[in-house]
Structure 1
Amino acid sequence: MKKTIVFVAMLISCSAFGAWIPVDAGGRVPMEPGATRSRDWTVFSFTVSRLPNRITDVNLRLDLVHSWVEDLQIILEAPDRSVVTLFDRLPGGPPRFDDFDDTVFDDEAPKAIQSASAPYAGAFRPKEALSRFDGRNPNGTWRLKIWDHYTGDYGWLYRQGDPRFETRRGPLSGTAIEISAVPEPLTWLALGGLAGMALRRRKTMR
């Protein structure tokens, strides 16, 4: 009986998944080496595959330097084209290279990004809740879209291993998305069926 319980627990633990997935490429903002220009957006992508098909949580880590972050609007777009605004033109200040150094956007963070001040280090709640993605299929291409509302400023989005990875504050972990996902309920029923078969087989062998 104990072996059967352990077997079922292993199935359940293996069916849940959570990991950081790095951005496919870094690049200049708003210009686009390593990204694709789409109207006024500079677009960076994350390729997600082989995850269970039901999202339970999404977080995003942002590593970005820019000469005036108050000009920026950033949204995250899921493979099904649903979108969440991470922030939109943060509170103003003088032009400066204010950085997002391993900044994590997390619905459970204690402070909202829209009321924060630079430099943006630590975890913050995004302007719109990332829980909007819950229940959706995570697999496919995610897009991080950055819109610089004014010309004359520039910045750089960092990926882990980027040749510009070293900032004045030291090395960064790199822009990445964290997705936790589980199988659909029907898959849980299948696991339950396997457990039942294992129990019946054990009883028959006695």
Structure 2
Amino acid sequence: MKSPRRQADRRAATVTALLDATIDSLVEVGYAGTTTRSVAERAGVSQGAQQHYFRTKTDLVDAAMIRLVEQLVADANAQPIDADNEAERAAALLDRLWEIHNLPITPAVFELFNVARTDPEIATQVKAALARGMDAIRTIAHALLPTFAARPDFDDTIDIIVATVRGTVIIAAIPGADTLHSPWPKLKEHLLAQVITDPAVAVSSAAHTN
């Protein structure tokens, strides 16, 4: 007879495999091409086992969205940003945001953005995931940049930066469209100027904007 601990571990492994397979499917074939059967095959489990944990495709995608956000937040916190001053930390934070939005799993998030436009159930989950993600980014930014965060428009600035990065990455994913906008170093230079408003620290950060 299997112990409760082994059964729990097996259930957790099955759920993880199914969610990872769902994310991979969203990246590779999109939402329309993702089916419960194909996800079960990717995960190496029976469709009966898949339906036991996630009854429908929407259930799978909802759970995968939560996992995606958890992974993105974990990546944001994975490596501490260690710099001599706030200007350098601001530059490093922008690079971290750019890296996160270019992770292999990020296209799955963008795929669900598009689906959410016409699917109310997915829209509810995407909205909640976006809120969690933005809260995490603002929390990190406040911790790293306490002086700049004291400005009343700081959260708006962070929102604008994230929106710019997100939009740039989405456009760059279109074959040949990456030339339609400035490269990241130039974008970073302009975005950093929105964060750093103190001339004294702006001068010390100049070397970190290229």
| Fold in common (TM above 0.5) | no
- With normalisation by structure 1, the TM-score equals 0.29
> Quick check: which one's helix share is greater?
2
> Quick check: which one's strand share is greater?
1
- With normalisation by structure 2, the TM-score equals 0.29
The structure showing larger relative contact order (alpha-carbon pairs under 8 Å, at least 6 residues apart) is 1
